[in-house]
Structure 1
Amino acid sequence: MPSDEGHTESGRTSSAARASGTPGPGPVAHAAGPGPGPSGGGAAADLARARTQLLDGGAKGSRRLDAPALRHALVDLHEFWLTTKANELGIKPDCGFALVAVGGLGRRELLPYSDLDLVLLHDDMDVAVVSELADRLWYPLWDAHIKLDHSVRSIAQALQVAASDVPASLGMLEARHIAGDVELTNLLISGVQRQWRTDIRYRFDDLIEQTEARWARSGEIAHRAEPDLKSGRGGLRDIQLLGALSIAQLTDSAPGLGPDTPGGGLAFAHRRLLDVRTELHRVAGRARDQLRAQDADEIGAALRIGDRFDLARTLSDSARTVSYSVEVGIRTAANAIPRRGLARLRRAPVRRPLDEGVVEHAGEVVLARDARPKKDPALVTRVAAVSAQTSLPISASTLGRLADNAPELREPWPKDALDELLVLLGSGHRAVSVVEALDRTGLWGRLLPEWGAIRDLPPRDAVHTWTVDRHLVETAAYASAFTTRVSRPDLLVLGALLHDIGKGRGGDHSVVGAELATHIGRRMGLWPSDVDVLAAMVRHHLLLPETATRRDLDDPATVQRVVDAVGGDSTLLELLHALAEADSLATGPGVWGDWKSTLIGELVRRCRMVMAGEPLPEPALVADEHRELAERGGVHVTLVPADSPHTWRVTMIAPDGPGLLSREAGVLAMHGLRVLSASLAAYAGSAVDTFVVSPRFGTPPQAGLLRQELVRANGGDLDVAAALDARESEVRESEVRESRAVQVGEDRVDAVPVLYATAPPRVLWWETDAPDEVILELRAEDRVGLLSRLASALESVGADIRWARVTTRGASVVDAFCLDLGSGDSRATREQVENAVLAVVPRPAPAKQADTAD
C-alpha cells in the first residue's frame, strides 16, 4: 500500500515517530521477544534464504516451480514467518494489535521480488508500546534485506488516510488479516469498504482521472513493444480497479465477458498477466514491471508459450480482454452512480429508437424489447453499424444476448447484413472500438471465422504499430476516408479489412489471403465479379508500393507489368491506389509521405494512360408492366418485395415535369424509407422511376399511401423540403457525430449533433456522344433525403435530369445523373452545378473541429 511512512532496507526511521496513537484507557499487554539487531534478524535471514531457495528451484533434485506454484509458495512462506514472528512478539487474539497484509501479499499474488506491504493496526495503544513492537517486527526484515513497505495505524488513522488518498484506499480494499486481533482487521476492512461505497460518488471522477493519467504514462500493453504489465492499459492495475468498482457495488468483477469469449475470459487473462510478471521477476533477478524485449524469449519458454512472438500474442489477447472489461466496468459504474443535486430531479433515461430492433438507453445501444435475435440474422451487424454511426457504445448485456442467441449467418449472407457491415466499416475510426467489443465477446469471429488466425498476431516488422488484426481494422478506418475517390467504396473497405487476412498461416500471405478473400466474398453474398475484384485486391495489395519504390517508372515494361497484373481493370487500379495509402497510414508514423505518394501516383497515372478509358453509366430499361401504366397516364405507385429481406422495390410513375424526382424521393424519405438504389427513366411522357428501399423501422407503408402523398406533393399541398428537414432533425437527435459530452456521475449532456462526413465528397464529369448531354457522377456519404435534396439542387440551377442511376453502398452513395445543361454548358455552368450539389451533401469537419477522439 503506498504510504508516506513506508521505506525499504535503504533507510530506517524510528517507529515511535511513525506511531501517533493516543494511549488507551486500559492496560496494554507488553510485547515480549528479542529486540532489534542480530538476534532478532536470524529468523528473517532464514526467510531470505528460503526465498532464494524457492527462486533457485528448491532443494537439489527438486523440480523448478512454475509461476502459480511459486506465488503460492511465496505467500505461504511469508505468512508462516509473519504469523510465527507475530506470535513470538505477543501479537495474538485480543491483544489490541493486528498485522494486516495489503498489496501482493494481501491479494495472495506475491511475486518473487515484490515488497512486503504490511500495516500494524493497534487499538489506540500507548505510543511507546506501539513503537517498541513495531521495531521488533520491522527491524529483522530490514536486517535480512527484505523490502518492506509498512505503516502503523489505529483504525481511525487508517480510515482517515483511506478517505483522503485514493491509492491508499485502493490498497486497503485488498487488506487481509495475517495475525493478532482479527476483530481489528475486520473493523478496518468493513470500515474501508463502507467508506468506499459511501464516498464513491464524490471520488469517482478523481479515480478515473488518475487511471487515465496512468494509461497516458504507461501506454497500451497490447500494442507496445516493451509493455508495462502492472500499470499499462489492460494490466494488473486495471484488474484491481475492477475489483474496487465491484466492492463499490457499481459493476461486476468481470463485466461484459462470458466463459466462451476468445482467450478464456478475464480470469484467464488475469492469471496470464500474473504468470508473465512472475517470470519477469525471476529472469530479471529483481522487481520489474516492464517486459524487456531481450527477456521475452526466455519468459515465453519458461511459461511454455513459445518464442517472443507467441508471448506478445498472448499478452495482447490478455491485455485487450482486460482493457475491454475495464471500459465496460467504468461505463457501467458511471451510469450506476447516484445522481447529485438537481440531476436527481431529471427523468430516468428513455428508450429512443435508432434502427429496426435497436434503441438507445442511458447512453448505450441496446436491443428493443421486441427484438428477436434468433430470427434476425442481420441484427449483429445492424447493432454494430448503429453504434459506429452514433458513437454510442454497445451495452454489455446486449453483446451478451447477441452472443447467446444470434444465429450463424448462412451462405450467402442476407443483403442487409452485408449492407450494415459496410456502414460499420465506412464509419471511420468510430468503428475501431465497435469491432473490438464484438471481437472480445466472440461475435466478430462468428462473422469472420478466418479472423482467429490473425487475432492478436504480433507484427514481424518493427515499423508496424499494431497487431495484425488491429492493423486491418485501422486500414479499413483510413480507407473509409477515401471512399469517394473510387467507384466501388464497398469493395475498398472490404479489401482494406481483408488485405492481410492470409498472415499467420504460412506461405505468401497475399496468395493465401486471396484464396480466403474468395471464400469470404462468396459467403457474404458478393456478386461473382465482385468476388474476383476483392480477391485481386488482396492478392495485389503490395503491387503498387513495391513497384513504385523498387522499379524504374520510366521503363515501359514496369508500367505494362502493373497493367497486366490488374488485367487492365481501371476500377481495380483505383482501388489498389486507395488501399496502398490506407495500408501505409495504418502501418505506423512515417510510412506514408510525399515521396511514396508521388511515386505511386505517377505509376497509377501512367497505367491509366496505357488503359485509356473507363465505362460510362447507362440508363435503365423500362419494364413492360410499367410501360402499360405510363400509357394510361396519371400517378401510379407499385410496391413489391425486392431480392433480399427487409428491402422493397417501389416504382413511381407520374407525368414528367420539373421537381418530380425531388418530390418522389422526398416522399420516400419522409416515411423512413432509405433509398438503396434507383433507376430513373421516361416513357410516353411519364417518368418511370424505380427505387429499391429499406425501411428504417418495421415494414413500409402501403403503396396507396405513398401515391396519395405524391399526389399531394405534386399539387403543392405538401412541403417536402420542410418535412425532410423535420425528419432529419428527428433522426439526428440520437446521432451525436461530434463532441458528445459525458459528465461522470451525472446525467449525460447531449451536444447538438453536426452532420459531418468521414470522406470528402467528389464530383466527376463524363462526356457523352450526345451534344446536349453530360453525366455528373457524385461520390459522397449518405444522409436523410439525399436524393431528394440532390434533385432539388440540380433543378434549382436549371439542370434537367434526363435519367439517373443511384446506388447506396453502406454509408456511401455513387449517383450518376445524365443532365441537359442546354446551350449554356460551360465551365462556369458546371462549376455552378457542382457547387449546388456539394451544398447538400455531408462534408468533412473543419480541421479545428475534427473529432480527435478517433
Structure 2
Amino acid sequence: MRSDPHGSAFDGPDPVATTAAGSGPSASAGPTSDRPGEAHDLARARRQLLAGGSRNHRLDAPSLRHALVDLHEFWLTTKGNELGIRPDSGFAIVAVGGLGRREMLPYSDLDLILLHDDVDPALVSEVADQLWYPLWDAHIKLDHSVRTVPQALQVASTDLTATLGMLEARHIAGDVELSHLLIGGVRRQWRTGIRSRFDELVDQARTRWARSGQIAHRAEPDLKNGRGGLRDVQLLNALSIAQLTDGMPGLGPDAPGGGLALAHRRLLDVRTELHRVAGRSRDQLRAQDADEIGAALRIGDRFDLARTLSDCARTIGYSVDVGLRTAGNSLPRRGLSKLRGIPVRRPIDEGVVEHAGEVVLARDARPKRDPGLVVRVAAASATTGMPISASTLGRLSDSAPELREPWPKGALSDLLVLLGAGSRAIPTIEALDRTGLWGRLLPEWGAVRDLPPRDAVHTWTVDRHLVETVAQAGGMATRVARPDLLLLGALLHDIGKGRGGDHSEVGAELAAQIGGRLGLWPSDITLLTEMVRHHLLLAQTATRRDLDDPATVQMVVDKLGGDALLLELLHALAEADSLATGPGVWGDWKSSLIGELVRRCRLTMAGETLPVPDPIDPMLVDLAADGGVHVALDPGTSPHTYTVTVVAPDTPGLLSHEAGVLALNSLRVLSASLGSHGGAAINSFVVAPRFGSPPQAGLVRQELIRAIGGEIDVLDLLDVKEEEALARQVLEDRTGAAVPVQYSQAPPRVIWFDVTGGDASQGEAIVELRAEDRLGMLSRLARVFERNGADVRWARVSTLGSSVVDAFCISMADGGTRARREQLESAILAVVPAPEPRKDEPAAE
C-alpha cells in the first residue's frame, strides 16, 4: 500500500494537511487503472478553449476566463457528486486563488481546499486521492489542501499568505454550510485581528514592490506582483473585507480612464493573453511578446500596450496608497492613542486645513466659487508633505471650475510653490493626475500621460520624466536668477512629445500657449518658449561638436540671441533633465563639457544686467512730508492678494519691523519695492494672507508703531510662531516616529554686484540673495543688515513659489571691505533655511 500523499502537519487524530503547491505523485506513483480518467477530458477541453473554442472561434480574454471558470466548476461539481461530496456528506470543495475570484487564467494553478467535518481519516484520504489523482494524471497544476474548518482557521491565524487566499474562497460543491463556516470564520477572524496584522500586511506589500518594481516604469513588468499589479487589487479587497476601506478607494468608475475596476480588468486581459502567447503560466511580460499581445487585445503595438499598462498600474497604485492610508486611519485605537481624542483641524491656507494627517478643505470652502482652490490645495500638500484626502480630491474634481485665462497671480504663485517642493511634488501631482485635476490645469498633458519612452536610456514615462525633472530643478533654484522659469521650463520641456514632428518645436508652441494662459509677462513667455525650443542645445552641442572651434560657441550664442539669462536657465535645465532621465546619464564627463561650453558662451556674451530700484509714486512722496507713520492696505490685482504701503520716518530697524509685523499677521510677502525720499522710507509690499482675510490697516499701523517704539520684539514673536508652525507640520506615523515635512530644496546663494565701478572703498553694492522662503524672512534679513552696519538704500524683493530672489542696495560705513562682506554674507546665510540633508548623510545635531 502506497504512503499517504498528503503528509501531516497537525497534532491530533486528523493526519490530512497541506502539501507544497503543485506537488503530488506522478502517474507512476501508483496504479491508475482504478482511478477515473475524466480529468483528461478536462485537460482536453482546456486545450480546445485555448485553440479557439468549440466553434473554431478565438475567444477574447474575458470570455476565455469565464469559460475556464465554468469548465472547472462543472468538472469539480460532477466529480464531487460522483465521489459522494454532496450537501449532507460532511465534505465540501472550496476554491481559492483564480478560481475562487472567478479569474481563471489559461495556465493558472487550480487552488482547492477539501473541507471535511472531522470525518474518519481513512475516508478522507480515499476521497482526497480520488479527487487529486485524476488532476495530477492529466498534468493539471494543483495547489491543494485537506482540512477541517478549525484547522483551516488555525492556519489563517498564523500564515498571512494563506489568510489572503482564504479571504477569496468560494464554495464549489458539497456541504455549503461547511464552506460558509470557513469563509465566514476567516473573514470574521481577519476583521477582529486586523489591528495586529496590519503592519505585517503593509511590510509584505512593500517587500513585494521592492522585489518586483513598478509596472508603470518597467520594460518587462511583473503583472502580478509589481506595484500596481493584480496582487495590489487583492490587497485592496482584503482591506475592504476588514471594513477599513470601501471596494474602490480613491478612484471609482466615474474617474478619468474608468477607475480601478477598469484598470483591473485590463490588467487581467493582458495577463490572460500573456499566458496564451507564452503557452504556460507567466507573470512577467517579455518585450518580444508585447506586440503580439497588443494586437490580440486590439490595443496596438508594444508602445501602445506599455501606455495602457502604465495607466492601469498607476491607477491601481494610487488606489492602494489611498486604501492603505484610509485603512491606517481607520484602525481601532488602543493604548495611549485612545487618549488623543478627535484630530484637530488646523488651517494651512485659505480654504485649506490639515485633518488627521491629510490635507482637506475647510468647512467654509466653496470650490465652485474659488477656481484657484485646486492649486492651493496642491501647494499645501507638497509643502507640508501630507497627502490630499481622497474625498477632497473627489469634491474638487466634481465641483471646482476651470481657472479663467490668464490665471490670477495667486494661482500661478501656488503652482510655483507646488513645483518648487522637490520630490514632495511627485505624489501630489500623481494624485491630481489620477483624479483628472492635473489635466484640467494643463490640458496639453494628455498627449504625454503614460507615454512610454522610445529610448531605452529613459527610466520613466514621459509625463513622469517631466515631473522628475521638476523635482531635480527644485534643487537648483538658487543657481538661477529666475527659479520660476526654471521650474516651468522643466515641467514643459518635453510637452511636445507624442504629437509628431520635432518635439522641441512643437513644445515651444505649446509653451507659448501655456505661458499666456498662466498669465506670464510677454518677455517671460518668450524666455519660456526659448527654453523649451533649445532644451537639448547645450547637451547636444557639448557632446557632439568641437568646443575649441570658435564657430561652435558662436553658433550657440547666436541661437540664444546673446541672452545670458537664457543660457543660465538652459544650463540648469540640461542637468535636471539628465538627472531625471536615468542612472548614468549625467556624470563628470557630460557635466564638464556642458560647463565649459557655458563658460565660453558667457565670455562671448560678456556683461550682466544689474538690478535697479522701482520708481517712487509722487503721491507717496507728498505723504512722507508730514513725518508720520502711514499704512494703507488695498486689494491686489488678483484674488487673495493685497498691497500694503507703509510710509514712515526712516529709522534704524524700520524694514525689519515692517516685514515682521506683516508676517505676524500671517501675510506672506510675495514681492516688495523699498525706497526712501527726504528722510522717509516708502515701502510697498504685495502680500497674500496664509488663510482668512487680512487685518485692518489700522491694526497693522498700531502694531508697527509698537514695534518701532520697542514695546514688542517682532523677531522673538516670529521665532515662537515658527516653532509652533513646525511642530504642527510634524507627522506621526503608525510607530510614533516624528517625520519632518518641510525642507529646503536648494543651497542658498549670496551674489555681490559692485555699483561704483568696482571701487569698494565707497562701500555701495547690491547684494542678491537666492534662497528658500521661511516665515518672516524679510524681517530677519533686515535685522541682519542693521546689526552689521549695512544701510539698505533700496530693495526689490520677489517670492517665486517657494523661493526668494531678493536684491538689496546697501552701503557700509567702513567701506565694505572683503572681510566685512564675508561677515555680512555669513550672517545672511545664518538666517535662511539650510539645504535638506542627503539621505546618506546624518542631519546636523
| Distance verdict in 2 for CA 1:18–1:846, change over 3 Å | closer
- Aligned partner of 1:774 in structure 2 is 765
Asked if structure 1 preserves the Cα contact closer than 8 Å seen for 2:253 and 2:261, the reply is no
Q: Distance in 1 between matches of 2:173 and 2:211?
A: 38
Asked if structure 2 preserves the Cα contact closer than 8 Å seen for 1:743 and 1:749, the reply is yes
Q: Distance in 1 between matches of 2:9 and 2:678?
A: 100
For 1:44, give the aligned amino acid.
Answer: A
Pick from 643, 648, 656: which aligns with 1:649?
643
Shift of 1:796: 1.1
Q: How does 1:284-299 map to 2 (within 5 A)?
A: 284-299=278-293
Shift of 1:337: 0.5
Q: Are 2:716 and 1:722 equivalent residues in the alignment?
A: yes
Shift of 1:683: 1.0
- Aligned partner of 2:40 in structure 1 is 45
Shift of 1:452: 0.7
Asked if structure 1 preserves the Cα contact closer than 8 Å seen for 2:377 and 2:388, the reply is yes
For 2:285, give the aligned amino acid.
Answer: L
**Number of positions where the alignment pairs a residue of Structure 1 with one of Structure 2:** 824
Q: Distance in 2 between matches of 1:302 and 1:539?
A: 39
- Aligned partner of 1:820 in structure 2 is 811
Shift of 1:340: 1.4
Q: Distance in 2 between matches of 1:15 and 1:792?
A: 81
Structure 1 length normalisation: TM-score? 0.94
Q: Distance in 2 between matches of 1:358 and 1:272?
A: 36
Q: How does 1:441-456 map to 2 (within 5 A)?
A: 441-456=435-450
Q: Are 2:110 and 1:116 equivalent residues in the alignment?
A: yes
- Aligned partner of 2:157 in structure 1 is 163
Shift of 1:18: 7.1
Asked if structure 1 preserves the Cα contact closer than 8 Å seen for 2:383 and 2:741, the reply is no
Shift of 1:248: 0.4
Q: Distance in 2 between matches of 1:85 and 1:648?
A: 80
Shift of 1:755: 6.3
For 2:607, give the aligned amino acid.
Answer: G
Q: Distance in 2 between matches of 1:448 and 1:707?
A: 42
- Aligned partner of 1:98 in structure 2 is 92
Q: Distance in 1 between matches of 2:365 and 2:431?
A: 20
Q: Distance in 2 between matches of 1:279 and 1:663?
A: 70
Q: Are 2:750 and 1:759 equivalent residues in the alignment?
A: no
Cα shift readout 1:371-407 (whole Å, capped 9, x = no counterpart)? 1111111111111111111111111011101101111
SS in 2 for 1:40: coil
Q: Distance in 2 between matches of 1:582 and 1:18?
A: 57
- Aligned partner of 2:776 in structure 1 is 785
Q: Distance in 2 between matches of 1:56 and 1:762?
A: 68
Q: How does 1:380-395 map to 2 (within 5 A)?
A: 380-395=374-389
Q: Are 2:250 and 1:256 equivalent residues in the alignment?
A: yes
| Distance verdict in 2 for CA 1:319–1:12, change over 3 Å | farther
SS in 2 for 1:504: coil
Cα shift readout 1:243-279 (whole Å, capped 9, x = no counterpart)? 0000000001110113332321101100011011111
Asked if structure 2 preserves the Cα contact closer than 8 Å seen for 1:21 and 1:125, the reply is no
- Aligned partner of 2:20 in structure 1 is none
- Aligned partner of 1:440 in structure 2 is 434
- Aligned partner of 2:339 in structure 1 is 345
- Aligned partner of 1:795 in structure 2 is 786
Asked if structure 1 preserves the Cα contact closer than 8 Å seen for 2:504 and 2:534, the reply is yes
- Aligned partner of 2:831 in structure 1 is 840
- Aligned partner of 2:274 in structure 1 is 280
Q: Distance in 1 between matches of 2:461 and 2:697?
A: 51
Cα shift readout 1:445-489 (whole Å, capped 9, x = no counterpart)? 110111111100000000000000000000000001101011110
Q: Distance in 2 between matches of 1:198 and 1:382?
A: 40
Pick from 158, 178, 181: which aligns with 1:187?
181
Q: Distance in 1 between matches of 2:470 and 2:532?
A: 13
Asked if structure 1 preserves the Cα contact closer than 8 Å seen for 2:384 and 2:742, the reply is no
Pick from 571, 595, 605: which aligns with 1:611?
605
Asked if structure 2 preserves the Cα contact closer than 8 Å seen for 1:426 and 1:810, the reply is yes
- Aligned partner of 2:798 in structure 1 is 807
SS in 2 for 1:222: helix
Asked if structure 1 preserves the Cα contact closer than 8 Å seen for 2:748 and 2:834, the reply is yes
- Aligned partner of 1:357 in structure 2 is 351
- Aligned partner of 2:725 in structure 1 is 731
Shift of 1:13: 5.2
Q: Are 2:469 and 1:478 equivalent residues in the alignment?
A: no
Q: Are 2:622 and 1:631 equivalent residues in the alignment?
A: no
Pick from 830, 840, 848: which aligns with 2:821?
830
For 1:494, give the aligned amino acid.
Answer: L
For 2:72, give the aligned amino acid.
Answer: H
Alpha-carbon RMSD across the aligned residues, in angstroms, is 1.7
Asked if structure 1 preserves the Cα contact closer than 8 Å seen for 2:253 and 2:262, the reply is no
SS in 2 for 1:743: coil
Question: Structure 1: any 5+ residue segments left out of the alignment?
Answer: 1-10, 25-34
For 1:816, give the aligned amino acid.
Answer: A
For 1:37, give the aligned amino acid.
Answer: T
Shift of 1:730: 2.6
Shift of 1:20: 7.6
Shift of 1:720: 1.1
Shift of 1:828: 1.1
Q: Distance in 2 between matches of 1:455 and 1:356?
A: 30
Shift of 1:741: 4.2
Cα shift readout 1:636-677 (whole Å, capped 9, x = no counterpart)? 111111111111111111111211111111111110111111
- Aligned partner of 1:196 in structure 2 is 190
Asked if structure 2 preserves the Cα contact closer than 8 Å seen for 1:19 and 1:152, the reply is no
Asked if structure 2 preserves the Cα contact closer than 8 Å seen for 1:219 and 1:233, the reply is yes
More displaced, 629-638 or 122-131? 629-638
Structure 2 length normalisation: TM-score? 0.95
Q: Distance in 2 between matches of 1:508 and 1:662?
A: 51
Q: Distance in 2 between matches of 1:284 and 1:724?
A: 66
Cα shift readout 1:77-112 (whole Å, capped 9, x = no counterpart)? 111111010001110111100001000000000000
